[in-house]
Structure 1
Amino acid sequence: MGDLFLTAGDVVTATVTKSLPFGVLVEYAEVPGLAKGVDGAPGDKLSVRVLEFDSTQCRFSAELA
């Protein structure tokens, strides 16, 4: 996980880890992310577009690509 660098606009295939009322938690290369307004069940693979990557906390926000 150490050298991963995501930038806004990157499109990645992330795995849903948890479904929430307002979106889903996803994981890409062991990095957690949040995709608001997206539906999915744990284990689903989604193509998401990175909106922001927080390198300090090593997490990202995304939307459906």
Structure 2
Amino acid sequence: MIAATVTKSLPFGVLVEYADVPGLARGVDSAPGDTLSLRVLEFDSTQRRFSAELA
């Protein structure tokens, strides 16, 4: 579980950042600057990004 910061709200979820690594949390509605508790589903080490869901 991680605590990631929302960087942008999109129609299908939010973009987040954790330790300078960007991620996407689908189906989440939150405002930029909010901190979310997330569970990482996938991590792409080549692209340095992750997908997550609410914990």
Question: Shorter-chain TM-score: what band?
Answer: over 0.9
| C-alpha RMSD of matched pairs (Å) | 0.3
Q: Are 1:48 and 2:38 an aligned pair? A: yes
Task: For residue 44 of structure 1, report the CA deviation from its aligned partner.
Answer: 0.1
Q: Are 1:36 and 2:38 an aligned pair? A: no
Aligned residue pair count: 55
The superposition leaves residues 5-49 of structure 1 with CA deviations (integer Å, 9 ceiling, x where unpaired) of xxxxxx100000000000000000000000000011000000000
Q: TM-score, normalised by structure 2?
A: 0.99
Q: Are 1:60 and 2:41 an aligned pair? A: no
Q: TM-score, normalised by structure 1?
A: 0.84
Say which one has the larger Rg: 1
Q: Indicate the percent of aligned positions where both proteins have the same amino acid.
A: 84
Runs (5+) with no aligned partner, structure 1: 1-10
Runs of 4+ aligned residues of structure 1 deviating over 4 Å after TM superposition are none
Runs (5+) with no aligned partner, structure 2: none
